[in-house]
Amino acid sequence: MRHDSEMHVGQIVNLCGVKRNALYAPIILDRWTRTLRLKIKATIKISLVFSSIAARLGLRNSVGLKYCLDGFYGVEAFGDAFGNYGPGICPWMEVTGDASPLSLKLEDNDNIYMSIATEKMIELVRARVEQAGEQAFKNATQRSEQLRKSRVSFASLKSDGEGNVEPLEIKME
């Protein structure tokens, strides 16, 4: 089934002239996915909605059923809903059942993408998220080190006796 959907997306891209970064546009999304439009209260737990959708589609006991904000969980071939595509781009922003539309800051006509992820896809997403976290930590550490090195310290101060303090010497460390 996944292979068929990837082929179908390939046909849309190649034959219809659709750009890969536009696959998640509402008019094109309807061409290659099934769409359910729902109205839900902003404060309801989203797990109730997810379980009713899964039951209606006959997917209640499906292993690997994922709901994601930025595209079809772990599927690199389609890119993400923000228009990014290519190697290393795979949707990973999974929605948990405890969330509500209010806590997710969803607005009218926002999408939540449902897909069945294989174990390989789940591992791919975990590896990418860990890698991104390590890179973010590395970047933050480097930035912190740069800030620490560029701090200004006052080596000596001069007071005029009236409470005014002026730096005499400024040292860059």
Give residues with Cβ within 8 angstroms of 29, minimum separation 6: 23, 35, 111
Percent over 90 (pLDDT), the chain: 4
Instruction: Write down the pLDDT at residue 1.
Output: 47
**Across 127-143, average pLDDT:** 85
**Across 81-88, average pLDDT:** 84
Mean pLDDT (the chain) is 80
Instruction: Write down the pLDDT at residue 150.
Output: 62
User: Cα(173)–Cα(137) distance, rounded to whole angstroms?
Assistant: 24
Tokens, residue 148? 């620490």
Confidence of residue 6 (pLDDT cuts 50, 70, 90): confident
